[in-house]
Structure 1
Amino acid sequence: MINLRVIHLFAIAGLAGCAGHPTLQHPKYAPAIVPVIEDAGPASRGSSLYSSATEVMLFEDVKASRVGDIVNVLLAERTDASKSNDSSVTKSNESTIANPILGGQARDKLGSFRGYDFNMGFGFESDQAFSGSGASNQSNQLSGSIAVTIIEELPRGNLIVQGEKWISLNQGSEYIRIRGIVRKSDISSNNTVLSTQIADARIGYGGTGAPSDASRMGWASRFFNSVLQPF
């Protein structure tokens, strides 16, 4: 019976090892659905070369400006942060109660019993000390480009863009997501905008597979490094 249980445990462990990695798809970053405008058919132009039913911008460039247009975001993110903290707490307490005065005289002894004197005065003291230190250094750099889609135009003319890119490798997949607000004037003539010019930017970079699992701390290590452990 015990051998059968051991076989079952190994079988479950093997199935867990063969399980595929999640794709981490997020519905928020699904491709934008552009509303379909039904074509009313070619309008009668008569003898004129131009028609009011046809929209032609003589001085319009190729910059994205409408919902559904694509903008190329040039990633130029770099952050460096460092933090250190040293703290120490020391507490000392001492109390003494003198012998009481009875009958105008200090009584240092309550009495004696079998050669032992009972002193009526007493005192106590305590000392406590704590010291701790911590340091953290973090540096991140992200470069490249990603094509995003305009999903909404705000009342003041700013554009909400979002996009996602997945790159599948032989040992896993990597993705990058970006979402934020872009000013039309920040979009260059070649239809690009810097990631540092995106307001309320939400930029995410991650992956799945063996490289991502190797860089992730195990659950036991996370427990001993958390604030839940009492020491």
Structure 2
Amino acid sequence: MHMTWKLAALVLVAACGRTDHIGKPPSFTPAQEAPEARAMTEPGLPDVVVDLRPVDAASLWSPSRASLLGDRRAVVRGDILTVVIEIDERAEISNSSDRSRSGSENLSVPGLFGLPQRLDTKLPEGASSDELVGLTSQSSSSGDGSVKRNEKLELRIAATVLDVLPNGVLSISGSQELRVNFELRELLVTGFVRPEDVSRQNEITYDKIASARVSYGGRGQITDVQQPRIGQQVLDAVLPF
């Protein structure tokens, strides 16, 4: 009985994610609950205040980030930068093997103290002891395998600096949701970047993100139809046949 309640609770939890978009489009994730929003609202470490003279404040060469030629790249908690994801990878592996072996063995006793000659007289007609044993073997094996893989993905997403590590590396996270009719597409990216890898356009490519985690998927009515039911997934994981 106790096991039945556990199974029922598991089914209810799994179904909660699908009841959100029954008869209506899937709901967006509240932006205020995202870690990026907390990084923008919570104050970080205080910035170093530069004492500028009136002449320097009006100069185009002011070191301030707000100046015309200032460096506006993301460097502190709450800053925003653009992540460029352009994946165009192709891998092809082909293996083949062929092996063949053959062997033949013959054993004859033409003379052994005259025993073969005496044995021949007692053997049935047509039989002879000239070739007592004859063995022939042949074996062959071949194998062929190939792997082909092609991936192409072009995306751009704005990510927020969540934290600045003690060594200066930036921890970033970005999320993007796009709803078309009853299907919601989600794009998530997290990782660690070096400030010097951020370009002057405040952009960074995905191949310069350490521990990059990129997720591109969705949820909605079409996704539910394409996914097997929770009961079938449990049986596929448990049944050994």
| TM-score of the alignment, normalized to the shorter chain, above 0.5 | yes
Q: Is residue 92 of structure 1 aligned with residue 101 of structure 2?
A: yes
- Compared with structure 1, are the counterparts of its residues 37 and 214 closer, same or farther at alpha carbon in structure 2 (3 Å cutoff)? closer
Partner secondary structure for residue 196 of structure 2: helix
Matching residue of 1:63: 73
- Compared with structure 1, are the counterparts of its residues 102 and 203 closer, same or farther at alpha carbon in structure 2 (3 Å cutoff)? same
Q: Name the aligned partner's letter for residue 107 of structure 2.
A: A
Q: What is the number of residues matched between the two proteins?
A: 185
Matching residue of 2:216: 205
Q: Name the aligned partner's letter for residue 198 of structure 1.
A: I
Matching residue of 1:5: none
Partner secondary structure for residue 20 of structure 1: helix
Q: Distance in 2 between matches of 1:105 and 1:155?
A: 97
Equivalent positions of 1:130-169 (< 5 A) are 130-144=142-156, 146-169=157-180
Q: Which has the higher strand share?
A: 1
Give the CA RMSD over aligned residues: 4.5
Query: How far apart are residue 113 of structure 1 and its match?
Result: 6.0
Matching residue of 1:3: none
Query: How far apart are residue 134 of structure 1 and its match?
Result: 2.0
Q: Is residue 80 of structure 1 aligned with residue 89 of structure 2?
A: yes
Query: How far apart are residue 205 of structure 1 and its match?
Result: 1.7
Which one of 23, 31, 35 corresponds to residue 35 of structure 2? 31
Moved more, 167-176 or 54-63: 54-63
Query: How far apart are residue 155 of structure 1 and its match?
Result: 3.0
Deviation per residue, 1:46-94 (Å, 9 max, x gap)? xxxxxxx996446331433223x13232424132313141402222131
Q: Is residue 20 of structure 1 aligned with residue 32 of structure 2?
A: no
Q: Which has the higher helix share?
A: 2
What TM-score does the superposition give when structure 2 sets the normalisation length? 0.56
Q: Distance in 2 between matches of 1:93 and 1:125?
A: 6
- Compared with structure 1, are the counterparts of its residues 162 and 122 closer, same or farther at alpha carbon in structure 2 (3 Å cutoff)? same
Query: How far apart are residue 216 of structure 1 and its match?
Result: 7.8
Q: Distance in 2 between matches of 1:21 and 1:93?
A: 67
What TM-score does the superposition give when structure 1 sets the normalisation length? 0.58
Q: Name the aligned partner's letter for residue 74 of structure 2.
A: A
Q: Where in structure 1 are there 5+ consecutive unaligned residues? A: 1-15, 39-52, 224-231
Q: Name the aligned partner's letter for residue 18 of structure 2.
A: G
